[in-house]
């Protein structure tokens, strides 16, 4: 045992110091990599979810104004008068060109500028945003936000039964609008989507928009569901075939059918400020430009969020001719 050497105190201290340096270097490296990964994931999330919702809006805008025409069918013509499928869409059409009828407008595309909430809301149901608090419609998160768009299109169900008072021809209204949300003290806007159904059974001259799933085919109507949070701005501009701006207001019915495309911009921000814009100088400002709206100016503190804008033009293939 006398020939076995131990470790001196100085050697132990040197080992502790070296180990501490190694651990500190490893932690610093991990922290940098983790923060970078979080930023990249956040940015990727903004871009991906933004593209997803734009795809949804594109699909609906392209359906605007679609109407089904059953036409002549020999087997149908041989049926008794009360059992025939009508050749044409028999549903009531409301232009919405007055204050009293605006809410029930059947215009294919309606755009309201700088309006929060669903202006054509029906029923008493509130939008759904699980995990978030929906703030009052008068609550402002930014100085400018947001537009809303309402899209009406038709459908058809050859399996409907005349005797049961069902509808052969269908009509839906899809709306995209913004509401102010709050989560863990953070306030921002969310994009909501609602789906209404025009209820008018065969033999009735008048109908109404409904959102109750029990009155809607497939139980897929709703007053509004959150489809994307952390919205900064959402804007829509309707254009005619010459690229001129069209006031897509139902009170201008002659202009609404001139719409050939819709330009839209959606701007989202990151969920956190971590790691973004560290090198901003004191007094630095940034601005976000939207369609037909004043630029929004962000100061140094506000600009710490990462923002991403998506701009796209959608052609209304069922309008015109």
**Spatial distance between the Cα atoms of 278 and 301, rounded to a whole number of angstroms:** 10
Q: Return d(Cα 165, Cα 234) in angstroms, integer.
A: 40
**Residue 226 belongs to what H/E stretch?**
strand 222-239
Q: How far apart are CA 113 and CA 246, in angstroms?
A: 12
Global pTM exceeds 0.75: yes
**pLDDT tens figures, 156-208:** 887 777 656 678 889 999 999 999 999 988 899 999 999 999 998 877 889 99
pLDDT at 280: 57
Q: Per the structure block, which two tokens stand in for 50?
A: 């933004």
Query: Is the pLDDT assigned to residue 152 strictly greater than 60?
Result: yes
Per-residue pLDDT, 194: 95
- Hey, is 250 helix, strand or coil? coil
The torsion angles phi and psi of 60, rounded to 5 degrees, stand at -75, -40
pLDDT score of 209 more than 90: yes
| Higher-confidence position of 123 and 34 | 123
Q: Which residues pair with residue 262 across a beta bridge?
A: 238, 314
Please check the confidence at residue 116 and state whether its pLDDT lies above 60: yes
Which residues does residue 169 pair with via DSSP β-bridges, in sequence order?
156
Work out the percent of the chain whose per-residue pLDDT is above 70. 86
Average pLDDT over residues 289-302: 69
Place of tokens 């790691």: 275
Question: What does residue 20 show for φ and ψ, rounded to 5 degrees?
Answer: -65, -40
* Alpha helix positions (H), 126-271: 253-256
The rounded distance, in Å, linking the Cα atoms of 96 and 104 is 6
DSSP element (H, E) containing 40? helix 9-63
Give the side-chain half-sphere CA count within 13 A for 122: 22
pLDDT, the chain, mean: 84
User: Whose CA is closest to 175, among 200, 147, 138?
Assistant: 147
Peptide bond into 146 cis (omega under 30): yes
pLDDT band at 270 (very low <50, low <70, confident <90, very high): confident
């Amino acid at each position: 045992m006398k020939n076995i050497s131990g470790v001196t105190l100085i050697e132990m201290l040197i080992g502790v110091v070296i180990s501490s340096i190694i651990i500190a270097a490893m932690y610093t490296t991990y922290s940098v990599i983790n923060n970078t990964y979080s930023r990249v994931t956040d940015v990727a999330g903004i871009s991906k979810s933004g593209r997803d919702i734009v795809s949804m809006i594109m699909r609906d805008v392209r359906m605007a104004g679609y109407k089904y025409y059953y036409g002549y069918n020999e087997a149908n013509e041989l049926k008794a008068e009360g059992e025939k499928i009508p050749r044409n869409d028999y549903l009531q059409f409301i232009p919405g060109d007055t204050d009293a009828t605006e809410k029930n407008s059947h215009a294919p595309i309606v755009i309201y500028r700088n309006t929060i909430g669903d202006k054509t809301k029906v029923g008493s149901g509130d939008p759904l945003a699980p995990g978030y608090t929906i703030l009052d419609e008068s609550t402002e998160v930014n100085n400018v936000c947001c537009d809303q768009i309402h899209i009406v299109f038709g459908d058809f169900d050859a399996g409907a039964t005349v005797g049961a008072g069902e509808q052969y021809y269908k009509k839906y209204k899809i709306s995209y609008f913004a509401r102010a949300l709050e989560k863990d003290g953070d306030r921002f806007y969310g994009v909501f989507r609602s789906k209404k159904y025009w209820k008018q059974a065969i033999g009735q001259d008048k109908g109404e928009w409904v959102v109750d799933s029990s009155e809607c085919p497939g139980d897929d109507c709703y007053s509004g569901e959150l489809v994307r949070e952390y919205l900064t701005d959402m804007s829509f501009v309707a254009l005619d075939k010459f690229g001129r701006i069209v006031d897509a207001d139902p009170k201008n019915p002659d202009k609404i059918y001139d719409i050939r495309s819709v330009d839209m911009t959606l701007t989202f921000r990151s969920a956190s400020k971590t790691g973004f814009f560290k090198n901003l100088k004191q007094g630095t400002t940034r601005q976000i430009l939207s369609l037909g709206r004043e630029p929004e100016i962000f100061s140094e503190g506000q600009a710490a969020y990462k923002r991403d804008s998506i701009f796209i033009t959608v052609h209304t293939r069922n309008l015109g001719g």
